[in-house]
Amino acid sequence: MSPLSPSMGFLLLLVLWSPGVIQATTTGPDVLQPTESVLRKETLFANVNGVVNSEGVCQCSVYLPDPVFPVEKVEYLQNTALSINVTLEAEVSKIREYSKKIESYESRILNLTHRLQVMEQTSVSYNELDFELIKVEIKEMEALVLQLKSTVTGGNEIIELLYTEIQNISVEINKLERFDKNNVIAIRREIAALKQRIKQCEEQNTGVRPTALPPPEYGLCNHGPISNISKPFVIQLNWRGFGFLYGSWGKDPSPRPPKNELYWVAPLNTDARYLEYYRTYQNYDDFLLFKNPKEQRILYGQGSGTVVFNNCMYYNCHASGDICKIDVDTNTLIIRKTLPGAVFNNRFSYAGVNWQDFDFAVDESGLWVIYSTEASTGNIVISKLNETTLTVENTWQTKQYKPAVSNAFIACGVLYATRTVSTRKEELFYMFDTKTGTESRLNLVFDKMLETIQSIQYNPSDHKLYVYNDGYEVTYDATFSS
């Protein structure tokens, strides 16, 4: 660059060639001209006053904005945006997932609300298992709502309302459980008492005034035959599941001290023949909730005619005409004895229930067995057994053909036999009184839950029938006439 006079003004042409680079040339004392390559990139012009220093060099000051493109800032912004986008997608995914869960639990809450309304408005009795199942559902929903509250911030009024509603349901369940604590007998007897009062009023209107008698005492036989069988009360499915349709269950009418209660369940294997596993429970609550079971194995029994009495189980030994007696506390075989003349291996079993050649029963007087012989040509034979030695103390032969009967039980020394009316109805149609040796016909039709009744066990300690109905454990209240 040629020296210029300090007093001489000049035109400085500024050109942006590339970011941060300026090129300029002079063609005379008055004018600076850009090179040809710069002119092609010309973007900006400015008039600048310059000075010449002591060395004769022209100097000028030009202030430009930072022309460097901020690549690092852009990359940082891109990474930040990407991170925010991933986080946002994750949160949106969570919201979608929780929305589905909320919809699911909303329907479950509606279902629970409906069930609570049914519990409150009907006289149907509910056991502890019903309440425990509802409590489990409530706890699951509470856990979900707490999870939602911890992950969703802001705008969670709906979640708060949902949590409050679940807590309210939990409170109502606890109230209902305390109010309805296993009152099956009380409610049903109140209904029976009301029906009796209505009947008395009707008879009074016709001039007949019956004398009210107290209900029969448990364990005694100061009454007449069975006059009514209640509606079925379904307890639960057997502990082995849906596939185990055959078996028996009940309550020991006189467990050995210190036991106050002893419930037992003996489902057959899926072949409907082998008795291999059974369970006992120390009380009704444990039985309902499958808590503290004592599960044991035997080799082997057969058929659904099993019974438990005085902590001992009586059953037909597999593929034989023998009676087996085991102690359920130790699961040890106490005695095995042949039942004289009895047929076995499905020779004369009940209608629709195979392998029940021996059907054991317990009543107020002790242990019985219902079976058939070749001499009886398939008709029912009843024998009273000594529970200690299994010897036959007395025997009665009836005129009722056993394969025409769906099941049977004994109460107060009277044999009662049932037959199938339909898939939902059963009839108590036959009775044989061992005290008089006489037989009679009945016509007591009662409901059943499913098609086939595999076993019926009468319990003298509570006048209940413990029925195994296609895998379900069911009870009935038996009412005796005066």
Our separate counts of H helices and E strands in the chain read 6, 26
| CB-based contact 317:324 (threshold 8 Å) | yes
Tell me the β-bridge partners of 280. Answer: 264, 294
Indicate the pTM of the whole model: 0.60
Q: Where are the alpha helices (DSSP H) in 206-360?
A: 284-289
How many angstroms separate the CA atoms of 354 and 268, rounded? 11
Residue-wise pLDDT for 63-111, tens only, equals: 555 555 566 766 777 777 777 778 777 877 877 777 777 777 677 777 7
Positive or negative: CA dihedral 308, 309, 310, 313: negative
Asked, as a colleague might, if the bond just before 210 is cis with ω within 30 of 0, I would say no
Mean pLDDT per segment of 10 residues, for the chain of length 482 residues?
A: 41 39 42 44 58 79 58 71 77 76 71 66 55 68 67 59 65 60 54 68 60 68 93 94 95 92 97 96 93 94 97 97 97 97 96 96 97 97 97 97 97 97 96 96 95 97 96 95 86
Would you state the pLDDT for residue 67? 52
Closest Cα to residue 429, out of 437, 441, 415? 441
Would you state the pLDDT for residue 103? 72
How many angstroms separate the CA atoms of 234 and 116, rounded? 19
How many angstroms separate the CA atoms of 351 and 264, rounded? 25
Would you state the pLDDT for residue 16? 39
How many angstroms separate the CA atoms of 41 and 36, rounded? 9
Would you state the pLDDT for residue 271? 95
Would you state the pLDDT for residue 397? 97
Would you state the pLDDT for residue 29? 44
Instruction: Please count the residues of the chain.
Output: 482
Q: Where are the alpha helices (DSSP H) in 57-181?
A: 71-121, 128-151, 157-179
What is the edge-to-edge ordering of all strands in the sheet holding 263-267? 247-251, 263-267, 274-281, 294-309, 312-317, 322-327, 332-338
How many angstroms separate the CA atoms of 475 and 467, rounded? 6
Residue-wise pLDDT for 431-450, tens only, equals: 999 999 999 999 999 999 99
Would you state the pLDDT for residue 1? 43
